[in-house]
Structures are given as C-alpha cells and as structure tokens.
Amino acid sequence: MGDAQKPLFRRIALIGIGLIGSSVARIAMENGTLAEEVVANARTQKSLDRVVELGIAHRVELDPAKAVEGADCVMLCAPVGAYAALAEQIAPHLAPGCIVTDVGSTKQSVIRDVGPLIPDGVHFVPGHPMAGTEFSGPDSGFSTLFEGRWTLLTPPPGTDEESVEKIAELWRRCGSMIEVMEPAHHDRVVAIVSHLPHLIAFTICGTADDLADESRQQVLKFAAAGFRDFTRIAASDPTMWRDVFLNNREALLEMLARFTEDASAMARAVRWGDASYIEDKIQRSRGIRKSLIELKQA
C-alpha cells in the first residue's frame, strides 16, 4: 500500500454534518483514505439519528466537546455564526497536535472568532471548499461534491506548514484543487462570485413575491429560465446565508455598491435607448460564461 492510500488522520471529527460535512463524511467512509474513524456532531439529535441511518459516520456525538476528544483532525462544518460558541466549547478538549480546520464561506470572521481560542500545540488551518448546492442537512451531501472544484485555504501568518499541507492533501483526496489565499482577498473574491449573486437572488424573489396577487401568480405560472435560475439559488439555507452576509459585511457591501452603480448605468442606457451600451454589456457577460465553460467551472 503506497503512502497515498494510507488514511491521513486517525480520527476526524465533523462539527456540523449538513451538506458539506456529510459530503466529507461520505468520502471518508467510502474511500477510507481521509481518516480511520469518522465522528459526526450536529446541533440536533434528529440530524445525528439520520447520520446513523445513512451510515455515514462511525460514531455520532451530540456534545461537540465529546466529539473532538482524541481527534487529530477537527473540521468545523456549521454555519459561520455558530463558530465562536462551538470553538469555546471544543477548545479545552482538543488533543495536542490536532489540526482544526473549517469549511466556512467567510474567512476573516472565522480567523477572528476561532483563532484566539485555539490552544497552544493545536494547529488551525481555515479553509473553504467552493462547492455547494441549495440543499442542506445530512441527506443532501454526496461524495462527488468537491470533484474538480477549488478549495481555498487561508492560513494566518505563522501557521504550521505541515498542517496546511495535510489539509490540502485531504481536499485533494476529495477531488478538489487547492489555492492558498490571503483571508481578506478570499472574502472579496467570494463576495463577488458567490455572496452578491445570492443577495441578488434573495432580493429578486422578494420583489416578485411583493407584487400584487394577480401578477405574483403569473410569475409562478410563467416562470421563465431567468427567474427560475434565481429561485434555485434563493432556495438556499436561511441560517447559513444570514451568517455569511453578517460575517462578510464590508466586502459584500463594497461589491453591492459597485453593482448598484453598474445597474444604474444599465438603467440609464435603457432609458436613453443606448443600444450599443446594452449590447456591449451582454457581449462581455457572454465572454465570462464562455471562459467559465473553458475552465470547467460552469
């Protein structure tokens, strides 16, 4: 058996076992190369009962402190707003040499909330797999979720390099590609590629819902591809997205301000019949779509 086949960790504790956590759990259980033992924790017993039924962990623990005991890898997979309280609960129970990592969609807030609580002798490697769907909970995960997708790692200065490499290897074994990034840069990038599109989707669905009764029914009846695509994004988990917006406030507001300016420019072009402006914008957008397809990220 080569090095690549040996499990990376003895025991991985997944704190949160929804879409992302249960996808990692499935991979760990299916290929056996992430960890010898998978421990799952959730906020509710109901989710843990489901994890047992699905057979996607060796053991479940409702108490996060118990879940991390003896683990050499702890992965926070809960909504980012829950991280501070979770970190406080688990910190005294982390084994020396353990690597704490996470999958949260915001990175400066995670470093702010979790970093100071990490005890000496424990390593902290924040991460963000750029893969997801609009579904949540332990049933929604699947083992190919991260294939061909990027995982961004944002280790604070001075992070143990061996630990960063181990977490990078974990994600490679999940099928992911790795990029190491500065946390503030991460937050700006995801604000434009992920957080702003969600904000727009939630807003446009709200706008449609606020229409007078008769029009609203027609929106649903004749929902065209454009609106339908927005409703898919807008079906995402409210807790997770509330936490993302509140924990990436500056970057999101900056991108929203830029977007609002550009939307006003487009409104002006429509008002004044500036056909070439409108056409030029659409051409540029098609170029972005084409590049995404070429990069296999569509």
Is residue 78 part of the contact set for ligand NAP (CB under 6 A)?
yes
Is residue 82 part of the contact set for ligand NAP (CB under 6 A)?
yes
**Residue 21 near residue 75, CB atoms below 8 Å:** yes
CB of 193 to ligand NAP, least distance (A): 12
DSSP, residue by residue, 248-297: SHHHHHHHHHHHHHHHHHHHHHHHTT-HHHHHHHHHHHHHHHHHHHHTT-
CB of 179 to ligand NAP, least distance (A): 15
Residue whose CB is less far from ligand NAP, 187 or 237: 237
Two structure tokens written together for 187: 């937050």
CA distances, 20 to each of 25, 128, 225, 257 (Å): 9, 10, 27, 30
Two structure tokens written together for 46: 């109901």
The phi, psi pair for 181, rounded to 5°, reads -140, 155
Residue whose CB is less far from ligand NAP, 117 or 240: 240
Residue with the two structure tokens 């500056």: 250
Element (H, E) at 239: helix 238-247
- Kindly tell me which residue out of 8, 12, 19, 125 binds ligand NAP, with binding defined by CB under 6 A: 19
Residue whose CB is less far from ligand NAP, 193 or 211: 193
**Residue 107 near residue 154, CB atoms below 8 Å:** yes
Is residue 244 part of the contact set for ligand NAP (CB under 6 A)?
yes
Site for ligand NAP in 144-183 (CB under 6 A): none
- Kindly tell me which residue out of 70, 137, 175, 197 binds ligand NAP, with binding defined by CB under 6 A: 137
Total number of residues that touch ligand NAP (CB under 6 A): 27
CB of 273 to ligand NAP, least distance (A): 40
Radius of gyration of the chain (CA): 21
CB of 218 to ligand NAP, least distance (A): 31
Is residue 239 part of the contact set for ligand NAP (CB under 6 A)?
yes
Is residue 240 part of the contact set for ligand NAP (CB under 6 A)?
yes
Q: How far apart (Å, rounded) are the C-alpha atoms in residues 158 and 261?
A: 39
What angle (nearest 5°) sits at the alpha carbon of residue 174, between those of residues 170 and 176?
95
Give the strand pairing for 150-153 and 127-129.
antiparallel
Residue whose CB is less far from ligand NAP, 33 or 236: 236
CB of 4 to ligand NAP, least distance (A): 25
- Kindly tell me which residue out of 79, 126, 127, 183 binds ligand NAP, with binding defined by CB under 6 A: 79
Is residue 256 part of the contact set for ligand NAP (CB under 6 A)?
no
Q: Which stretch binds ligand NAP (CB under 6 A): 89-97, 160-168, 218-226, 232-240?
A: 232-240
Residue 73 region by backbone torsions, left for phi larger than 0, else alpha for psi between -120 and 50, else beta? beta
Is residue 77 part of the contact set for ligand NAP (CB under 6 A)?
yes
CB of 235 to ligand NAP, least distance (A): 11
Q: How far apart (Å, rounded) are the C-alpha atoms in residues 18 and 135?
A: 9
CB of 199 to ligand NAP, least distance (A): 14
List residues near ligand NAP by CB under 6 A: 16-21, 42-44, 47, 77-80, 82, 103-105, 128-129, 132, 136-137, 237, 239-240, 244
